[in-house]
Amino acid sequence: MRLSRTAWLILGIGIFAIAIGILCWVFLQQVQEQKGLNNSLSLAQATLPRVISERNDLESQLPQLESELAQAELLLNGVKARFPESVESIEYDETLFEIADDCVLKITGLIASEPGEEEIEGITYTITSFTVDVEGTVAHILKFIEAIATSEYSPGETNFINAIIKEVTMEVFEPGAGGKSSATINLAIYGYQGE
């Protein structure tokens, strides 16, 4: 079957119209994509100065933060140094006897537990518990307790800075009533285990 010249012309115009339509559709898609890219570029250009400013602010704060971190590390190392790695009960026994002697007290009983472990805020400490029985006047017993609680019984000494008095039980006799006042003091001494 042969097509006439008119049919060929109509067919050619149809193909041309379809090709023009496809080209227009592709052109419109690219125009839309170009608009989206232009909007993204405008937004990025508007955001860039703010981001640069924030970066410069953070960089200017960095030396101060590094200084604060260094100070915190020094403080932490100082605190760690004040905590012994282990609590040697014999050393603390001797110190307790010295304090009692300074306070004019008699130690009637002294028991130290085996060291254990306790975790406080993610840090593991060794802990040794002591039970101290003392006998003397109420004023001397209170002086003894204060020496342990303030961790200073003589100038410059800080043997009990890592100790906590857990409980004090006192039996008080009036002077001349035929008995001596006594106290039982339970304390815990902490040691830093390290990393």
Reported as a single tens digit per residue, the pLDDT across 115-133 is: 888 887 777 788 888 899 9
Query: Which pLDDT score is estimated for 62?
Result: 86
Average pLDDT over residues 1-24: 86
Query: Which pLDDT score is estimated for 30?
Result: 93
**Enclosing domain of residue 177:** 89-192
Separation in Å, CA 188 to CA 18, 19, 35, 125: 93, 92, 74, 11
Average pLDDT over residues 49-57: 89
Mean predicted lDDT score pLDDT of the chain = 82
Query: Which pLDDT score is estimated for 74?
Result: 81
Question: How many distinct structural domains can be found in the chain?
Answer: 2
Q: Render pLDDT for 141-151 as a digit per residue (tens, 0 to 9).
A: 998 888 888 87
Residues 6+ away with beta carbon under 8 Å from 142: none
Q: Are residues 65 and 112 in the same domain?
A: no
Q: Which residue has the tokens 């100790």?
A: 163
Q: What tokens appear for 137 in the block? A: 């006047």
Q: Are residues 112 and 175 in the same domain?
A: yes
Q: Are residues 72 and 109 in the same domain?
A: no
140 neighbors 104 (Cβ within 8 angstroms): yes
* CATH number, position 108: 3.30.70.60
Among the candidates 82, 114, 134, a domain finishes at 82
Q: Are residues 61 and 95 in the same domain?
A: no
Residues 6+ away with beta carbon under 8 Å from 161: 82, 151
Least confident of 6-10, 32-36, 74-78, 191-195: 191-195
Q: Are residues 35 and 104 in the same domain?
A: no
What burial class does residue 62 get, using C-beta atoms within 10 Å of its C-beta: 0-12 exposed, 13-18 middle, 19+ buried? exposed
Among the candidates 31, 55, 82, a domain finishes at 82
Reported confidence tier of residue 28, pLDDT bands at 50, 70, 90: very high
Reported confidence tier of residue 34, pLDDT bands at 50, 70, 90: very high
Q: Are residues 180 and 101 in the same domain?
A: yes
Which helix H or strand E contains 22, and what residues bound it? helix 5-82
Q: Are residues 74 and 93 in the same domain?
A: no
Separation in Å, CA 180 to CA 110, 139, 142, 185: 18, 12, 14, 16
Q: Are residues 13 and 102 in the same domain?
A: no
Query: Which pLDDT score is estimated for 127?
Result: 85
Q: Are residues 110 and 186 in the same domain?
A: yes
Among the candidates 82, 101, 117, a domain finishes at 82
**Sign of dihedral through CA atoms 40, 41, 42, 44?**
positive
189 neighbors 162 (Cβ within 8 angstroms): yes
Q: Are residues 121 and 97 in the same domain?
A: yes
Q: Are residues 41 and 64 in the same domain?
A: yes
Asked if pLDDT for residue 158 goes beyond 60, the answer is: no
Asked if pLDDT for residue 180 goes beyond 80, the answer is: yes
Q: Are residues 7 and 78 in the same domain?
A: yes
**Sign of dihedral through CA atoms 15, 16, 20, 26?**
positive
